């Protein structure tokens, strides 16, 4: 899909969402609740993705200023009796 086609699809989706939001005050209560549940689901997925990516970046990229301990190899020696 070309970038022009992708932008056109985003514009169509945005227009449908705007139309849905404009009709929402006159909608049935069931439709309002279902629309809110869908929006809540999308927001939850996006927030979880941001949290997962930030935690992964924080631990992998040493953003905390300390070296990554998972990459360091540790030699295991037998215990002397």
Query: In 3D, which of 11, 9, 39 has the Cα closest to residue 24?
Result: 39
Q: Give residue 78's pLDDT.
A: 79
C-alpha to C-alpha distance for 59 and 67, rounded to whole angstroms: 9
Q: Give residue 47's pLDDT.
A: 94
Rounded to 10 degrees, what is the CA torsion of 13, 19, 21, 24? -130
Q: Give residue 56's pLDDT.
A: 75
pLDDT tens track for 29-67: 998 899 889 989 999 999 999 988 887 776 666 555 555
> Domain residues of the chain, as ranges?
29-59
> Is-above-0.75 flag for pTM?
no
pLDDT tens track for 5-26: 899 999 999 999 889 889 888 8
């Amino acid at each position: 899909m070309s970038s022009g086609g992708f932008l056109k699809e985003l514009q169509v989706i945005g227009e449908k969402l705007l139309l849905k939001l404009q009709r929402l005050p006159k909608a049935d209560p069931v439709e309002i609740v279902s629309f809110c549940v869908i929006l809540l689901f999308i927001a939850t997925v996006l927030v979880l993705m941001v949290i997962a990516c930030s935690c992964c970046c924080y631990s992998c990229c040493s953003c905390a200023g300390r070296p990554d301990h998972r990459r360091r190899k540790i030699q295991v020696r037998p215990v002397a009796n």
